[in-house]
Structure 1
């Protein structure tokens, strides 16, 4: 049994898909498959149940994962202490994220991560999507939480979760009380939206293209809180996620019947740079957290 095998196993156990795991590890899928088969042979147990690329852990695999997590944490801790010369020195990494995640998703994620890894320091950077893509490409951030894959040659992106976007109107608006709405019905409504450099705005424009309409833009802002406030004041309508824990009593959120309006959120990184051990831990923490359709804290009414 080799340390590399354990690392491969840990990633496989978290991602549970040969192709995506091989991409994350920067190895070929056949090489990864051979390594896992050899590990099973060495241990004389079946660790995975395989089905067209998708895999599940056996009970033996689940038990091994717990031990491997502990072993690799100890190995990384030993490396950090040896390289720093200061036992117990705190590890750190740089995490960038899109604006819209800062008010609801990211605080919950970081709070839970700190519970598991209290000694890891996270340097945060909040930017629009275009700027974040440049930072990932330039290696100026270790990890990036974003809703689209940065389109650069050496960038990778792994899906974590998706969230629904709602037609958002002020209370008292004629649409208030509707159970659903077709997006083309917003054709004559003033639209309040994020600026064009934000990935959510790009998605919103795509959804309106699908509906065959282009509403007049009444205002372009930098954050969802401002947009929500302006909608609440009756200055227009918008297409927004319903943010858990962010109260806007003057708003009504209406599901969209056509087109389906959802955005995917994932974690991106530069595959040409070696991630700090602390960043790898956070990356694995994210994948475990959202595996098997786990959801971020949410309002039940958004389901």
Structure 2
């Protein structure tokens, strides 16, 4: 009887499986709750297997339901892959969302975000470009990206900018540095040190210069790097200290210690931005909702 199971059966059941709630699944699908309930019950009859069970006032997935949800997701993803591959082969990029993001967000935030999106929307595909905050904005403005995630907010009337979260800036020092004995430091404690920094124009360089200015000194930058991983490698080699974004803590460097800064204003805000005309695109809306939820907004 398995041949009677349709792709629509898969889609409706996965919506229920994500929510374990008929009403919320119906809202996601744009139908009424009775339709979802009947579809799930009909699917059980087709399979000859109980997929859900009543627990008090709640309806929960049985083990068989979790197995079916996993397999159904794989089937729908294979179908989406086939469609996307065919369209890509014909030059149709409609299923590909182009995302540009900063280096540090590529460690944990963006991969986790895309993973949660694919779990709900297996038809989505992504093309990611990783660079400095200023460069990802350039990608958006010249049309090479649909959505950008970074710490530089584009100043363009045709761009929608949404703040997602604020994160602290950290002082990166070599392992064994005297400052590592402190749980928190003030930036002026490093005023006589040499600094490693991103190249001029990068937002991380601006954050460093501004933070040092608030602490009352101009940093002596002796080494410049092309990305924060290079910067931290230079710090680990003992070439200086640096100010790095909090998201770098998602990456372990065995020769670097990152120390919280007590100075006022030592933080940065992460933004999501896209063109106004993209606001109605389902993929952009889905990504925006997921990014806000993922950032605790």
Bucket of the pairwise TM-score, normalised by the shorter protein? 0.5 to 0.7
1:65 to partner: Cα distance: 6.4
1:179 alignment partner, one of 173, 179, 183: 183
Give, in whole Å, the separation in 1 of the partners of 2:23 and 2:112. Answer: 28
Give, in whole Å, the separation in 2 of the partners of 1:274 and 1:136. Answer: 14
1:234 is matched with 238
Give, in whole Å, the separation in 2 of the partners of 1:213 and 1:122. Answer: 43
Correspondences of 1:1-303 after superposition (within 5 Å): 67-71=26-30, 89-90=83-84, 91-242=95-246, 243-273=248-278, 276-292=281-297
1:274 to partner: Cα distance: 5.3
Q: TM-score, normalised by structure 1?
A: 0.65
Give, in whole Å, the separation in 1 of the partners of 2:279 and 2:272. Answer: 16
Q: TM-score, normalised by structure 2?
A: 0.66
Deviates more, 1:129-138 or 1:200-209: 129-138
Deviates more, 1:145-154 or 1:102-111: 102-111
Quick one: higher RCO (CA 8 Å, sep 6+), 1 or 2?
1
1:288 to partner: Cα distance: 2.3
Question: Is the CA contact 2:172–2:259 (under 8 Å) kept in the aligned structure 1?
Answer: yes
Give, in whole Å, the separation in 2 of the partners of 1:211 and 1:63. Answer: 56
Q: When the two structures are aligned, how many residues end up with a matched partner? A: 218
Consecutive unaligned residues in structure 1, runs of 5 or more: 1-61, 73-85, 293-303
> What SS does the aligned partner of 1:179 have?
coil
1:150 to partner: Cα distance: 0.6
User: Are residues 140 and 276 of structure 1, via their aligned partners in 2, closer, same or farther at CA, if it must alter by over 3 Å?
Assistant: farther
> What SS does the aligned partner of 2:110 have?
helix
Question: Is the CA contact 1:104–1:244 (under 8 Å) kept in the aligned structure 2?
Answer: no
User: Are residues 168 and 68 of structure 1, via their aligned partners in 2, closer, same or farther at CA, if it must alter by over 3 Å?
Assistant: same
User: Are residues 230 and 105 of structure 1, via their aligned partners in 2, closer, same or farther at CA, if it must alter by over 3 Å?
Assistant: same
For the aligned residue pairs, the C-alpha RMSD in angstroms reads: 2.6
> What SS does the aligned partner of 1:252 have?
strand
Give, in whole Å, the separation in 2 of the partners of 1:65 and 1:139. Answer: 36
> What SS does the aligned partner of 1:257 have?
coil
Consecutive unaligned residues in structure 2, runs of 5 or more: 1-20, 32-79, 85-94
Superimposed CA distance per residue, residues 14-64 of structure 1 (whole angstroms, 9 cap, x where no aligned partner): xxxxxxxxxxxxxxxxxxxxxxxxxxxxxxxxxxxxxxxxxxxxxxxx997
2:11 is matched with none
User: Are residues 201 and 93 of structure 1, via their aligned partners in 2, closer, same or farther at CA, if it must alter by over 3 Å?
Assistant: same
User: Are residues 286 and 233 of structure 1, via their aligned partners in 2, closer, same or farther at CA, if it must alter by over 3 Å?
Assistant: same
Question: Is the CA contact 1:100–1:223 (under 8 Å) kept in the aligned structure 2?
Answer: no
Give, in whole Å, the separation in 2 of the partners of 1:119 and 1:208. Answer: 46
Give, in whole Å, the separation in 2 of the partners of 1:197 and 1:101. Answer: 19
Deviates more, 1:244-253 or 1:149-158: 244-253
1:127 to partner: Cα distance: 2.9
1:121 to partner: Cα distance: 0.7
1:17 is matched with none
Question: Is the CA contact 1:168–1:252 (under 8 Å) kept in the aligned structure 2?
Answer: yes
User: Are residues 107 and 131 of structure 1, via their aligned partners in 2, closer, same or farther at CA, if it must alter by over 3 Å?
Assistant: same
